[in-house]
Structure 1
Amino acid sequence: MDPTNSLSAKLTPEAQAQLAAAANVYGLPPAGLERMRPWLAATTLGSAPLLRAGWDPRLGVDMILQVDAKARGKAVFGLETAEQQARFLADLPEARQVEELEATLRDLDAFIPRVESVQAAWLKGDQAQLAALGAPLRATRDPGLDAVVRMDRNRAWAAWIKARLGRPGTAMIVVGAGHLFGKDSLGDFLAVQEITIRRS
């Protein structure tokens, strides 16, 4: 949070109007948004269309599998902590955060159709379609940001998986769909680690 500076003052006039409209549409308190740093506002607004459309974060694949694993007495570990995940965005320069917030505001209306397209491709296991759907986002995203939120994490996860494969036992690893397709995917970094992937 930024208790001394308003969020709107950091935005272009067009983005200010979009922020006010989005707060009204999704029932977000303007005063609360004004105190958020840009990365948090972008994250909050990015989830608003999903929540309004009835998507329940408790019913995500990762959450369902986690609940099931714990019920079976399996150990559950995270590849990252919640603080690490927040830091990926919170530690970005403010100008970069503002760019992401303004991009989020421009794309809010297209968010649900895009997510539904990704879901349909994921359910079919259509890697080519997933890559095609992700290509426009990667093409417009700043390379530095893409490295922070996707590429560097994939590289780190591949190293973790390599180390885990050197220990006995079986592990299930669950990551978001966006990490599994396109250039510099988790699979690409596993290949660098000389790990062969077989789809079943």
Structure 2
Amino acid sequence: MKHWKRSLLSLIISAGMLVSAAPAWAAPQQMALKVNNQNVEFTMNVPIVDQGTTMVPLRTTLEAMNVKLTGVQDGNISVVINGKKITLKSKTKQINGVTYAPIRIVGEAAGYEVRWDQKSRTVLLLSKSVKEGARGFMWEVKNNGNTVYLVGSIHIADDSFYPLRSAFEEAFAEADYLGVEIDISKAADKEQQQLIMNKGTYQDGTTLKDHVSKDTYAKLGEILKQYEMQPNALDAFKPWVVETTISSLKSMAAGYKAEAGIDLYFIQKAIERKLPVLELESYQSQLSMFDGFSKELQEKNLKSTLDNFDTLDDSVGQLTDMWKSGNDQLLLEFTNSMAVDPEYNKAMLIDRNLGMADKIDGYLKSDKKAEYFIVVGAGHYLGEHGVIKLLEDKGYAVVRK
């Protein structure tokens, strides 16, 4: 664990600085559908894109996937998959008397990987390999007729993370709500961008050079030049913004990106399903936390990133391998390693975990009898001050899934 750099902690703890692309919207259009390279024959009704969501004739598509449809009512699709009864909560649409549903929701719940072939304008449903997808981190809590799934996210990823193992998709398919730290699909909104500028830049006429040592500033300039940027390109920003930016440059160079992160993956699916998205925190609270770090801690974190820049991609690889294997012991060791800096540990984990646990407690005590799919950084769950321990202290039984 000593090789994991503090500069990467935000990848499994905080999503606030990650900017994502908004989902594309297109006019309705016709297309083809294949299940394991076999064309699905439709009569009059064919797949369409409706307000950005690919919709397919439900009954015909399910039959092609060898899934039995037992009923559709108020957006609840009841099916039998491999002998197991599942209710998919999804928007449906009637077209010429035929029920349409989003292909990703029904396809992934049935154990297929959903792809789009632009050249042939074909939706491809491919059976996932016999080998189960990445294990990741997920727990289940039940109370008062409510079920809460606790999913540990990593905020950057690549295509190798997908498809996720079926337990994730099945739990999400039945969810009534998605809960996240913050809705990062809104990161590009003017309001959020202005908030970052207000919090992350100097407003008093000074620059980064006035707030860090000459050595730190010189190292930053050398790294920026490696990316064909001017040495003073980040002068307007505070050390905590510069640290995140530098880490992101290295992560992207290694092929990882926020657009593939676990939380954004489910946010995009929630948008497709028109599923309510609950925020356990806010942009204001996350950015205020970073901005509230002492001057000494901000430079310490930035210096650590710069000093270890050449090995950051190896550290990211260790982090992603930990997530894929769902290694609880490594995650716990990682979480405990943060305790070496009391200021950092209190702000990043202890205080935030209390707030998250209180929100989840409220969901479990609700009279809604609903299912909540909660996705926050994996680093928030384990340890003496972790969300799981806090929930157990409140009397809940938390089960690893």
TM-score by length of 1: 0.89
**Structure 2 gaps, min length 5:** 1-200
The 10-residue stretch of structure 1 (107-116 or 57-66) with the greater mean CA deviation from structure 2: 107-116
* Secondary structure at 2:280 match in 1: coil
**Aligned residues of 1:38 and 1:97 also touching (Cα < 8 A):** yes
Deviations 1:36-92 (A, max 9, x none): 111211121121111222212111111111111221121112111122211111122
* Counterpart residue number, 2:375: 174
CA distance in structure 1 between the partners assigned to 2:306 and 2:257 by the alignment: 22
* Counterpart residue number, 1:61: 262
Instruction: Specify which of 255, 273, 278 is matched with residue 72 of structure 1.
Output: 273
**Aligned residues of 1:162 and 1:195 also touching (Cα < 8 A):** no
Instruction: Give the aligned residue type for 2:294.
Output: P
Cα distance, 1:176 vs. partner? 0.9
Pick the structure with more helix per residue: 1
Instruction: Give the aligned residue type for 2:349.
Output: R
Instruction: Give the aligned residue type for 1:102.
Output: K
Is the radius of gyration larger for structure 1 or structure 2?
2
* Secondary structure at 2:219 match in 1: helix
In the alignment, structure 1 residue 153 sits paired with structure 2 residue 334 = no
* Counterpart residue number, 2:248: 47
Q: Describe the shift of the 1:69–1:31 C-alpha distance in structure 2 as closer, same or farther (beyond 3 A).
A: same
Higher relative contact order, chain-length normalized (CA < 8 Å, sep 6+): 2
Cα distance, 1:139 vs. partner? 4.8
**Aligned residues of 2:234 and 2:242 also touching (Cα < 8 A):** yes
TM-score by length of 2: 0.46
Instruction: Give the aligned residue type for 2:287.
Output: A
Q: Describe the shift of the 1:161–1:22 C-alpha distance in structure 2 as closer, same or farther (beyond 3 A).
A: same
Root-mean-square deviation (CA), in Å?
1.9
CA distance in structure 2 between the partners assigned to 1:32 and 1:10 by the alignment: 15
Alignment of 1:1-200 (within 5 A): 1-2=201-202, 4-136=205-337, 138-140=338-340, 142-167=341-366, 168=368, 169-200=370-401
* Secondary structure at 1:175 match in 2: strand
* Residue-pair matches, total: 198
Pick the structure with more strand per residue: 2
The 10-residue stretch of structure 1 (93-102 or 75-84) with the greater mean CA deviation from structure 2: 93-102
* Secondary structure at 1:88 match in 2: helix
Cα distance, 1:108 vs. partner? 2.2
